[in-house]
């Protein structure tokens, strides 16, 4: 049991940080605030960390967490999730995943998409699919994708890929949750009301602390699930991450006050992205059912 | 970063589990941990664990341990807590009283106390809270005034567990009368037979051991009983409290109760009850969240880093899972939860303790917010 990054993991994250910092973190966040897509940064990320390389799932969720925390508008995390089970698909372009109703994050910007059901998951060339951007206020660009008749460029293993994409989304929840709590903390420290900083009010301090418990637990449950790969651990991480997102959003909006509604402060980014990810994770009853049905690993104890 | 156990840790858990199955009567599985705090059984069980080298295996060899992986601390905690804590009050000695003594004690204190603690042969109690210093422990007023080579201790402690049977008390007292807060506090390791020491029962409604009120009246103690430097006891206490807050892996028992509820659901058709599946899943993941945060806190400790934040996060998560499981168990048991021995009855009482034992959950929230937001002043 070791909660520290290995040298290799630290080096990997340093490479990712380097790419984003070189691109300019503030600039990347500005694009996110507008619900845009940072094509240049995404291309640099794919060039720096090719998803087809044999990174393990823990590496991939660490990167997804970090990119989400940095507030980027890129598809790279999803590309990473795909990379583990599709060695035959060379990911040279941005990749996305199409949800059950045809909605896909970055659907209008990505080059490849994963479509299908549990029985068959295809990787399709989006240039050959019908793609219609939709209006959304959730700070990611979404599009409706009709992949019937689109050219298939590969297949992915549904079981392996399903767990990977779930955990990458959970890692994004963890990263955004951490960043959102930090941003809200900055607001509480700087905002003066009733003659003193809001950060001195215990009611608000305790609420933020409760959120920090959920965010930190989400982060570690996701990492543990990525390491062990057991269905139970994956199901626990997904169910908990979804609850964390649901808990954080109303609280940070409330604590942020009317600034949460204004574009200029950027406080909306975390709230809306968490809501989006919560929805991308699937229906709560489905996650609940998956957790309750997941067997305890042999010899396991205490819910692990 | 890796989340697996070593072969030695897995073997330790398996051996301990096997011993528990063999040595602990089945009815213990339904007890509230602490319900039988100090009996001939808990003493005998602790002795047996010690004889098998499993009682303090994570302690350094020079103090009676085996110098084994520090993770054995939480492995044994999980297994034993889930089994109703058959060590009784001895868990406290293993978790933090012994470590406080081998970290800060004199050679004489180590000789006098550690062997008996390491063999499960002595009962301790802790003299921490006072009528005017509970959540705000550093407001304590018990005084220890120098008188030559001795101290004279006067004051009152409250909510003390095990005091009726303890041979020693781990007492906090203010040795600098001009000090306030965490400064000027010292620790004393005092035999409960010392003249001036008095323990009175405070009847409890929790079905576990009774609490006690301790009164110290002109209690003379030699300076050799002071643990660590004069006026600098708070650092020792801070470390001890960190152990205490996560030392009882309550999530382990709560997770076990979840699995019992799931089994009962299969028998009773509870899966059809509106909201049941969601609540059970939430309770299960809350237990897992508490567990992983405790592991993270231990990871900090193992690496010798400050664990204030990670311990506080863990403690809040522990309280949450205990409460979620209690509410679920209570609702499902219905009226049967009124009966001692039911799952709901036991779980609601242990969850009530969770938010207060080892320091209130609000103190943990304060601690987290201090790190996130700085001081509240």
Could B79 and A301 be called an inter-chain contact, meaning their C-beta atoms sit closer than 8 Å?
yes
Poorest-confidence range of A60-64, A221-225, A244-248, B131-135? B131-135
φ/ψ of residue A228, rounded to 5: -80, -35
Kindly indicate the confidence band of residue A148, based on its pLDDT and cuts at 50, 70 and 90. Answer: very high
> Which chain A residue shows the shortest CA-CA distance from B317?
A213
Q: What's the CA gap between B334 and B149, in Å, rounded? A: 61
Q: How many CB atoms lie within 10 A of CB B224?
A: 12
Could B71 and A1 be called an inter-chain contact, meaning their C-beta atoms sit closer than 8 Å?
yes
CB-CB contact of A13 with A67 (8 Å): no
Mean per-residue pLDDT, A48-62: 88
- Indicate the pairing of strand A95-97 with strand A112-116: parallel
By the 10 Å C-beta count (0-12 exposed, 13-18 middle, 19+ buried), A101 is classed as exposed
Q: Which of A190, A217, A218, A292 to mutate to probe the B interface, most B CBs <10 Å?
A: A217
Tell how far CA A64 is from the center of its chain.
Answer: 6
Res A199 pLDDT > 90: yes
> Which chain A residue shows the shortest CA-CA distance from B372?
A185
**pLDDT (tens digit per residue) in A1-31:** 999 999 999 999 999 999 999 888 999 999 9
Give, as one character, the DSSP assignment of residue B133.
B
Could A243 and B82 be called an inter-chain contact, meaning their C-beta atoms sit closer than 8 Å?
no
Could you give the percent of chain B with pLDDT greater than 70?
Answer: 98
**pLDDT (tens digit per residue) in A153-197:** 888 888 778 888 999 999 999 999 999 999 999 999 999 999 999
> 3-state secondary structure string, A93-136?
CCEEEECCCCEEECCCCCCEEEEECCCCEEEEEHHHCEEEECCC
Q: What's the CA gap between A234 and A164, in Å, rounded? A: 9
CB-CB contact of A171 with A238 (8 Å): no
Instruction: List CB contacts (< 8 A) between A291 and chain B.
Output: 281, 284-285
Mean per-residue pLDDT, A258-271: 92
Q: Give the per-residue pLDDT at A139.
A: 94
Q: What's the CA gap between B209 and B38, in Å, rounded? A: 9
Q: How many CB atoms lie within 10 A of CB B248?
A: 26
CB-CB contact of A250 with A180 (8 Å): no
3-state secondary structure of A95: strand
**pLDDT (tens digit per residue) in B340-350:** 888 888 888 88
HSE, CB side, 13 Å, CA atoms: give it for residue A23: 27
> Which chain B residue shows the shortest CA-CA distance from A283?
B278
Q: What's the CA gap between B142 and B7, in Å, rounded? A: 48
For domain A159-293, the CATH class is mainly alpha
Q: What's the CA gap between A132 and B172, in Å, rounded? A: 70
Q: Give the per-residue pLDDT at B313.
A: 97
CB-CB contact of B368 with B314 (8 Å): no
Domain ranges of chain A: 159-293
For residue A166, what are its two tokens? 């779930």
Q: Give the per-residue pLDDT at A86.
A: 45
Triad A112, A117, A155: Cα angle to 5°: 45
Q: Give the per-residue pLDDT at A92.
A: 64
Between residues A235 and B204, the one the model is more confident about:
A235
| Domains of chain B by start residue, with CATH | 7-122 (1.10.540.10), 125-231 (2.40.110.10), 249-373 (1.20.140.10)
Q: Give the per-residue pLDDT at A304.
A: 43
**pLDDT (tens digit per residue) in B177-210:** 999 999 999 999 999 999 999 999 998 887 766 7
Could A224 and B3 be called an inter-chain contact, meaning their C-beta atoms sit closer than 8 Å?
yes
3-state secondary structure of B144: strand
Which of A216, A243, A302 has its CB closest to that of B252?
Answer: A302
**pLDDT (tens digit per residue) in A98-114:** 988 999 999 999 999 99
Is the confidence metric ipTM above 0.85 for this complex? yes
Could you give the strand order of the β-sheet that contains A103-105, starting from the edge strand earlier in sequence? A103-105, A142-146, A130-133
Candidates A103, A84, A94, A158; CA nearest to A127 is A94
* Distance set, CA A290 to CA A101, A217, A233, A238, B281 (Å): 20, 19, 11, 9, 9
Candidates A118, A113, A154; CA nearest to A131 is A113
Could B285 and A189 be called an inter-chain contact, meaning their C-beta atoms sit closer than 8 Å?
no
**pLDDT (tens digit per residue) in A68-80:** 999 999 999 888 8
Between residues A299 and B335, the one the model is more confident about:
B335
- For residue A11, the distance in angstroms to the closest alpha carbon of chain B comes to 13
Res A301 pLDDT > 70: no
Could A1 and B256 be called an inter-chain contact, meaning their C-beta atoms sit closer than 8 Å?
no
Interface of B with A in 252-311 (CB under 8 A): 252, 255-256, 258-259, 262, 277-278, 280-282, 284-293, 295-296, 298-300, 303
- For residue A250, the distance in angstroms to the closest alpha carbon of chain B comes to 19
Interface of B with A in 243-262 (CB under 8 A): 249, 251-252, 255-256, 258-259, 262
Write down the mean pLDDT value for chain A.
91
Q: What's the CA gap between A256 and A188, in Å, rounded? A: 8
> Which chain B residue shows the shortest CA-CA distance from A225?
B3
Q: Give the per-residue pLDDT at B134.
A: 86
Interface of B with A in 138-177 (CB under 8 A): none
Could A220 and B252 be called an inter-chain contact, meaning their C-beta atoms sit closer than 8 Å?
no
Could A288 and B281 be called an inter-chain contact, meaning their C-beta atoms sit closer than 8 Å?
yes
Q: Give the per-residue pLDDT at A298.
A: 54
């Amino acid at each position: 049991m070791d909660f520290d990054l290995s040298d290799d993991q630290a080096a990997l994250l340093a490479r990712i940080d380097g790419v984003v910092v070189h691109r300019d973190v503030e600039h990347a966040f500005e694009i996110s605030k507008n619900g845009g897509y940072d094509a240049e940064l995404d291309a640099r990320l794919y060039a720096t960390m090719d998803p087809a390389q044999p990174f393990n799932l823990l590496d991939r969720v660490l990167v997804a967490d970090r990119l989400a925390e940095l507030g980027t508008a890129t598809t790279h995390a999803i590309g990473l999730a795909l990379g583990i089970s599709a060695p035959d698909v060379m990911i040279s372009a941005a990749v996305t995943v199409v949800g059950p109703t045809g909605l896909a994050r970055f659907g209008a910007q990505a080059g490849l998409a994963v479509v299908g059901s549990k029985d068959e998951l295809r990787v399709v060339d989006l240039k050959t699919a019908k793609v219609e951007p939709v209006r959304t206020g959730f700070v990611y660009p979404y599009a409706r994708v009709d992949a019937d008749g689109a050219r298939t460029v590969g297949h992915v293993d549904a079981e392996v890929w399903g767990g990977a994409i779930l955990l990458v989304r959970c890692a994004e929840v963890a990263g955004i949750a951490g960043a959102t709590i930090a941003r809200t903390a900055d607001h509480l420290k700087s905002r003066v009301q009733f003659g003193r900083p809001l950060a001195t009010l215990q009611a608000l301090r305790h609420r933020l602390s409760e959120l920090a418990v959920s965010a930190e637990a989400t982060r570690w449950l996701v990492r543990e699930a990525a390491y062990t790969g057991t269905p139970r651990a994956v199901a626990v991480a997904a169910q908990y991450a979804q609850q964390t997102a649901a808990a954080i959003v109303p609280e940070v909006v409330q604590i942020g006050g009317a600034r949460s509604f204004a574009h200029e402060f950027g406080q909306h980014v975390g709230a809306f992205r968490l809501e989006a990810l919560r929805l991308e994770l699937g229906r709560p009853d489905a996650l609940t059912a998956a957790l309750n049905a997941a067997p305890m690993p042999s010899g396991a104890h205490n819910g692990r | 970063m890796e989340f697996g156990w070593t072969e030695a840790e897995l073997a330790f858990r398996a051996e301990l589990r096997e011993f528990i199955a063999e040595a602990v009567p089945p009815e213990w599985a339904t007890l509230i941990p602490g319900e039988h705090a100090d009996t001939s059984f808990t003493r005998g069980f602790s002795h047996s664990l010690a004889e098998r080298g499993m009682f303090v295996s994570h302690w350094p060899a020079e103090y009676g341990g085996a110098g084994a992986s520090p993770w054995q601390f939480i492995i044994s905690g999980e297994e034993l807590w889930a089994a109703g804590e058959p060590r009784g009050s001895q868990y406290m000695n293993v978790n933090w009283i012994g470590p406080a003594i081998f970290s800060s004690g004199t050679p004489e204190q180590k000789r006098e106390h550690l062997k008996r603690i390491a063999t499960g042969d002595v009962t301790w109690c802790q003299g921490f809270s006072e009528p005017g210093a509970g959540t705000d422990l550093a407001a304590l007023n018990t005084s220890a005034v120098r008188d030559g080579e001795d101290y004279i201790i006067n004051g009152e402690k409250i909510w003390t567990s095990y005091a009726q049977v303890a041979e020693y008390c781990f007492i906090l007292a203010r040795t600098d009368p001009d000090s306030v807060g965490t400064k000027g506090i010292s620790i004393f390791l005092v035999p409960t037979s010392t003249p001036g020491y008095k323990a009175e029962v405070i009847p409890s409604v929790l079905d576990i051991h009774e609490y006690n009120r301790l009164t110290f009246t002109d209690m003379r103690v030699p300076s050799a009983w002071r643990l660590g430097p004069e006026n600098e006891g708070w650092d020792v206490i801070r470390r001890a409290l960190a152990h205490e807050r996560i030392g009882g892996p309550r999530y382990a028992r709560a997770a076990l109760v979840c699995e019992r509820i799931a089994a009962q659901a299969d028998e009773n058709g509870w899966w059809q009850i509106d909201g049941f599946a969601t609540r059970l899943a939430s309770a299960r993941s809350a237990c897992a969240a508490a567990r992983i945060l405790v592991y993270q806190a231990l990871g900090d400790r193992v690496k010798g880093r400050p664990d204030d934040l990670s311990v506080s996060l863990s403690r809040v998560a522990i309280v949450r899972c205990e409460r979620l499981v209690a509410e679920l168990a209570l609702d499902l048991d219905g009226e049967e939860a009124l009966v001692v021995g039911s799952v709901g009855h036991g779980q609601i009482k242990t969850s009530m303790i969770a938010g207060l034992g080892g320091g209130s959950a609000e103190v943990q929230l304060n601690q987290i917010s201090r790190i996130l937001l700085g001081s509240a002043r």
